[in-house]
Amino acid sequence: MKKEMQALVERGEMLPLMEEFYTIQGEGFYKGTAAYFIRVGGCDVGCHWCDVKESWNAELHPPTEITAIVENASKYSDTIVITGGEPLTWDMGPITRQLKNKGLRIHIETSGAYPLTGEWDWICLSPKKMKLPTKEVYEKAHELKVIVYNKDDLRFAEEQAAQVSENCILYLQPEWSKRDKVIPLIVEYVMNNPKWKVSLQTHKYLNIP
Ligand code: SF4
């Protein structure tokens, strides 16, 4: 990447854009809501079950001017979801300011592994054992979504729930490839511990992105 371009990426004025699409939010509190997704490349958290491994290497995704991303997004929806990869790899300040200036509602899906930048209407925190969230993301998260791959993730979920604010909504979501095995565990757990709710990847059942 050219030096000038790299400087713009470092300032958050360009972002490695992997894909952008208008769809239905499939997971968590806003499931069922039409939203425009901006998927930013770059993530070094390394979840072995990650379903967007193509996002990891930021070099594979073209640095794109945020003004162009914002212009596109505003044509489709009032609700914008910035996801990844790990969006907080980058400075989210500039893009969220521009989206806010357009009067849009902005959500982030993050592992919380890096310092929180940007202005958000909704923070979905999906913590990962390999790189735990920063204190600020725990405090500001609106929903905590723990992916359950095996039984130990229920223990991890409780540890994570102890770190978020009182009003944070708690979700357990089956990892897609293990869903048949872990859904019964989650169902039983939520019935015994009703502060949790079940989240499903409904977009995968609907066969939409
Ligand atoms: Fe994949 Fe998200 Fe884990 Fe990164 S944090 S490896 S994008 S699941």
Residue 59 sits in a domain whose CATH number is 3.20.20.70
pLDDT of residue 3: 87
CB 85 near ligand 1, within 6 Å: yes
Residue of the nearest CA to atom 2 in ligand 1?
Answer: 85
The pLDDT of residue 2 is above 90: no
The alpha carbon of 46 and the centre of ligand 1 are apart by a number of angstroms equal to 6
Atom of ligand 1 nearest to the CA of 53: 1
The alpha carbon of 88 and the centre of ligand 1 are apart by a number of angstroms equal to 12
The alpha carbon of 112 and the centre of ligand 1 are apart by a number of angstroms equal to 11
Where do the DSSP E strands lie in the chain?
14-24, 34-40, 63-65, 79-83, 105-110, 122-125, 143-148, 169-174, 196-198
19 pLDDT band, cuts 50/70/90, is very high
Q: How far apart are CA 31 and CA 84, in angstroms?
A: 18
CB 186 near ligand 1, within 6 Å: no
CB 115 near ligand 1, within 6 Å: no
3 state SS of 76: helix
47 pLDDT band, cuts 50/70/90, is very high
Atom of ligand 1 nearest to the CA of 111: 5
Alpha helices per DSSP H over the chain: 3-10, 66-76, 93-101, 135-140, 152-161, 179-192, 202-205
Q: How many domains does the chain have?
A: 1
Q: Within 13 Å and on the Cβ side, how many CA atoms surround 59?
A: 2
The predicted model scores a pTM of 0.97
The pLDDT of residue 1 is above 80: no
Write down the mean pLDDT value for the chain.
97
Task: Tell me which residue has tokens 């592992």.
Answer: 111
Give the domain range for residue 96: 3-7+14-205
The alpha carbon of 45 and the centre of ligand 1 are apart by a number of angstroms equal to 6
149 pLDDT band, cuts 50/70/90, is very high
CB atoms within 10 A of CB 60: 12
Q: Within 13 Å and on the Cβ side, how many CA atoms surround 106?
A: 25
Going by C-alpha positions, the residue among 182, 69, 177, 86 that lies closest to residue 125 is 86
Q: How many residues does the chain have?
A: 209
